[in-house]
């Protein structure tokens, strides 16, 4: 009796449609549907029915399950997915109204509007598409806004892991926006908005975006080389993130062939495989030792004696590098230690020489050679006794190893 009095009190304050009334007691009768529960209560209390559109709480939204589901199905029509989860966004007033209704002693039995609607729509989408509901990391989340009825889609990105080679100089790894206009386009950049016409990122991403219908992308490299440095050997690992793809199955062999044919002699990709978001962190935090070949020009002549001294100094050598002046605009000015594992002079003739250098990830090779006005110590110019500058630099190999290994070596 006490219970029925409480219900009577709530209904006196708020007129609720059958769906909203029944939902208040759903946890008492989880198998029963809202309308049946409501009918029993109304009979008991002899209270008349409230029209859905006059419902204080949902203003009729509870009756629109089919309409909302149809709209969601329409949105999902051209999207390829295996799993989904319904998202619901309620307006602030809606939530406030529901909180008011639930501020009483009977609310312990209530199921929330959001959970109820998500479940009902989820069931319909499952039946009509055969795709399964997945709570963690679903392929797509249609988000329904109440009361507007608008739907937005959150589509899980696709991640493609691979390795790239760069065989031509003058190409940056990633899109590089014009410093003057920051991408808008100005005289300085010939209205392209970019410092360079293209990049490794753009060459790899273009066809991948076309094939998947992605609306944007992000390129994650395991480190980067300067635009004038070649990336050879086994290539540099990368993850291409394709945002909001409309297709999730793609033939990576076809993609690889497309890219490699189009950019023959410029950029090559290898070993493309579908991957996961975690791979980005993995390639970013892995230590990639690199083997470089540097063609160097000196202000003086290289001699047998200098060459021996260079090899003695820089084989297994710990160097200190302060952030180079050429990148200090973009990076914090700090001092850090880096290891040069191997140093070998391949050939020398008068003021020219070719070095083979194997160094830890993040070593600034150009500065190791020039000395960067004493910001790198020790440096090759100091040991030679004259200034040396890199003319050509190539990455011959990227060697992946675990973080722990790198630490024990140091
Ligand atoms: Zn209602
Ligand atoms: Zn510009």
Are residue 166 and residue 270 in the same domain, yes or no? Answer: yes
The predicted-structure confidence for 297-331, as pLDDT tens digits, reads as follows 999 999 999 999 999 999 999 999 999 988 877 78
At which of 244, 260, 285 does a domain end? Answer: 285
Whether residues 366 and 399 share a domain: the answer is yes
Total domains in the fold of the chain: 3
Alpha helices (H) along 46-112: 65-76, 92-101
Whole-angstrom distance, CA of residue 370 vs CA of residue 354? 14
How far apart (Å, rounded) are the C-alpha atoms in residues 46 and 120? 29
* pLDDT tens digit sequence for 226-267: 999 999 999 999 999 999 999 999 999 999 999 999 999 999
Same domain membership, residue 257 and residue 302: no
User: Structure tokens of 119?
Assistant: 């479940």
Q: Report the share of the chain in percent with pLDDT over 90.
A: 77
Query: 38 C-alpha to center of ligand 1: Å?
Result: 11
Pair (100, 193) in one structural domain: no
Residues 211, 248: Cα–Cα separation, whole Å: 9
Residue 409 clears pLDDT 60, i.e. is over it: no
Is residue 265 located within the same domain as residue 162? yes
360, 339 contact by CB (below 8 A)? yes
Q: Which of 126, 155, 184 is the last residue of a domain?
A: 155
Counts of helices then strands in the chain (DSSP H, E): 13, 15
CATH of the domain at 171: 3.30.70.2510
Query: 351 and 323, same structural domain?
Result: yes
The answer to whether residues 55 and 151 belong to one domain is yes
Give backbone dihedrals phi and psi of 13, rounded to 5 degrees, phi first.
-75, -40
The verdict on 50 and 67 lying in the same domain is yes
CA of 404 to the centre of ligand 2 (A): 43
CATH of the domain at 6: 3.30.2300.10
Residues recognised as catalytic: 226
Task: State the pLDDT confidence band at 407, using cuts at 50, 70 and 90.
Answer: very low
What the block records as the tokens of 375 is 């910001």
Ligand number with the minimum distance to the CA of 51: 1
Cα(77) to centroid of ligand 1, in Å? 30
pLDDT at 408 over 60: no
Name residue, tokens 């055969």. 130
Which among 155, 183, 198 is the end of a domain? Answer: 155
Helices (H), ranges, 105-199: 113-129
On whether both 69 and 145 belong to a single domain, the answer is: yes
405: left (phi over 0), alpha (psi -120 to 50) or beta: alpha
Closest ligand to 52 CA? 1
Residues 44 and 116 in one domain: yes
Going from the Cα of 176 to the center of ligand 2, the distance in angstroms, rounded, reads 11
User: Which residues make up the environment of ion ligand 2, defined by Cβ < 5 Å?
Assistant: 178, 180-181, 186, 188-189
CATH of the domain at 391: 3.30.70.3190
Same domain, residue pair 11 and 131 = yes
Which ligand is nearest to the Cα of residue 38, counting in written order?
A: 1
Determine the structural domain holding residue 62 and report its residue range.
2-155
In tens, the pLDDT along 325-380 reads: 888 777 888 999 999 999 999 999 999 999 999 999 889 999 999 999 999 999 99
Confidence (pTM): 0.83
User: In angstroms, what is the span from residue 79 Cα to ligand 1's centroid?
Assistant: 32
Residue holding tokens 């100089």?
169
Does residue 113 share a domain with residue 183?
Answer: no
Where is average pLDDT lowest: 99-113, 243-257, 376-390? 99-113
Residue 6 near residue 106, CB atoms below 8 Å: yes
């Amino acid at each position: 009796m006490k219970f029925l009095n409480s219900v009577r009190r709530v209904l006196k304050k708020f007129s609720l449609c059958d769906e909203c009334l029944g939902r208040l007691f759903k946890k008492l009768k989880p198998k029963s549907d809202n309308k049946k529960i409501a009918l029993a209560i109304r009979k008991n209390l002899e209270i008349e029915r409230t029209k859905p559109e006059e419902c204080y709480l949902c203003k009729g939204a509870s009756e629109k399950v089919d309409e909302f589901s149809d709209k969601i199905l329409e949105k999902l029509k051209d999207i390829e997915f295996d799993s989904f989860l319904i998202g619901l966004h309620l307006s602030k007033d809606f939530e406030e109204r529901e909180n008011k209704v639930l501020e009483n002693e009977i609310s312990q039995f209530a199921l929330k509007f959001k959970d109820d609607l998500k479940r009902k729509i989820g069931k319909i989408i499952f039946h009509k598409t055969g795709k399964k509901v997945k709570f963690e990391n679903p392929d797509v989340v249609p988000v329904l806004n109440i009361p507007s009825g608008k739907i937005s889609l959150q589509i899980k990105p696709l991640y493609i892991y691979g390795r790239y080679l760069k065989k031509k100089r003058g190409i940056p790894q990633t899109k590089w926006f014009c410093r003057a206009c920051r991408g808008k386009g100005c005289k300085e950049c010939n209205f392209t908005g970019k410092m360079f016409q293209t990049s490794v990122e753009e060459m790899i991403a273009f066809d991948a975006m076309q094939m998947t219908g992605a609306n944007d992308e992000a390129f994650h490299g395991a480190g980067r080389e300067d635009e004038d440095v070649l990336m050879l050997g086994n290539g540099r690992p990368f993850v291409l993130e394709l945002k909001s793809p409309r297709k999730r199955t793609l033939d990576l062999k076809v993609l690889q062939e497309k890219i490699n044919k189009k950019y023959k002699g410029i950029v090559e990709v290898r070993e493309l495989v579908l991957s996961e978001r975690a791979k980005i962190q993995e390639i970013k935090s892995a230590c990639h030792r690199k083997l470089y070949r540097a063609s160097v020009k000196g202000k003086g002549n290289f001699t047998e004696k200098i060459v021996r001294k260079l090899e003695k100094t820089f084989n297994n050598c710990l160097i200190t590098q302060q952030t180079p002046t050429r990148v200090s605009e973009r990076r914090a000015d700090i001092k850090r230690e880096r290891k040069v594992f191997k140093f070998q002079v391949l050939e020398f003739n008068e003021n020219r020489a070719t070095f083979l250098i194997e160094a830890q990830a993040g070593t600034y090779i150009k500065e190791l050679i020039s000395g960067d006005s004493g910001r790198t110590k020790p440096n090759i110019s100091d040991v030679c006794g004259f200034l040396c500058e890199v003319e050509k630099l190539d990455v011959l190999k990227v060697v992946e190893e675990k973080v722990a290994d790198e630490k024990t070596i140091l």
